[in-house]
Amino acid sequence: MTEPINSQNPPSILMVDDIPANLEMLSEMLKGRGYKVRAAVSGKLALQAARNDPPDLILLDINMPEMNGYEVCEKLKADEKLKDIPVIFLSALSETIDKVKAFGTGGVDYITKPFQFEEVVARVETHLELRRQKRQLQEAYDKLRELEKLRDSLVQMIIHDLRSPLTGTFAYLKLIRDDTDHTLSAAHSSYVAEAMKAVMQMIQMACDILETSRMEEGQMKLKTSECDLGRILEDGISGVKPLSGGREIRLTPSESPVTIMADREIILRVIQNLLSNALKFTRDGDLILLGIEPAGERVRVSVKDNGLGIAPEYKQMIFDKSAQGELRAGRQRYSTGLGLTFCKLAVEAHGGTVGLDSEEGKGSSFWFELPVKSPGFSG
pLDDT digits (tens, 9 = 90+) for 2-49: 444 556 789 999 999 999 988 999 999 999 999 999 999 999 999 999
Element housing 250 (H / E): strand 248-252
Residue 180 confidence (pLDDT): 67
CA-nearest of 370, 366, 367, 340 to 352 is 370
Q: Where are the alpha helices (DSSP H) in 4-105?
A: 20-32, 43-52, 69-78, 96-104
79-123 tens-digit pLDDT: 999 999 999 999 999 899 999 999 999 999 999 998 899 999 999
280 or 270: which leads in pLDDT: 270
Q: What percent of the chain shows pLDDT beyond 70?
A: 90
Buried b (16+ CB within 10 A) or exposed e, 197-216: bebbbbbbbbbbbbbbbebe
For the cut 60, the answer to whether the pLDDT of residue 293 exceeds it is yes
What residues pair up with 88 in beta bridges, in sequence order? Answer: 59, 109
Q: Name residue 34's amino acid.
A: G
CB 87 within 8 Å of CB 58:
yes
Quick one: CATH architecture of 12-115? 3-Layer(aba) Sandwich (3.40)
Q: Do domains 12-115 and 225-377 have the same CATH topology?
A: no
148-159 tens-digit pLDDT: 778 777 776 777
CA-nearest of 76, 72, 77, 75 to 90 is 72
158-216 tens-digit pLDDT: 777 777 888 888 888 888 888 767 778 888 888 888 888 788 878 877 877 777 777 77
For the cut 80, the answer to whether the pLDDT of residue 257 exceeds it is yes
Q: Where are the domains of the chain?
A: 12-115, 144-216, 225-377
For the cut 50, the answer to whether the pLDDT of residue 330 exceeds it is no
**Distance of alpha carbon 104 from alpha carbon 47, whole angstroms:** 19
**Distance of alpha carbon 183 from alpha carbon 205, whole angstroms:** 32
**Distance of alpha carbon 166 from alpha carbon 297, whole angstroms:** 41
pLDDT band at residue 58 under the 50/70/90 scheme: very high
Quick one: CATH architecture of 225-377? 2-Layer Sandwich (3.30)
Residue 7 confidence (pLDDT): 61
Residue 27: φ, ψ to 5°: -60, -45
CA-nearest of 368, 61, 328, 79 to 232 is 368
pTM: 0.54
For the cut 80, the answer to whether the pLDDT of residue 366 exceeds it is yes
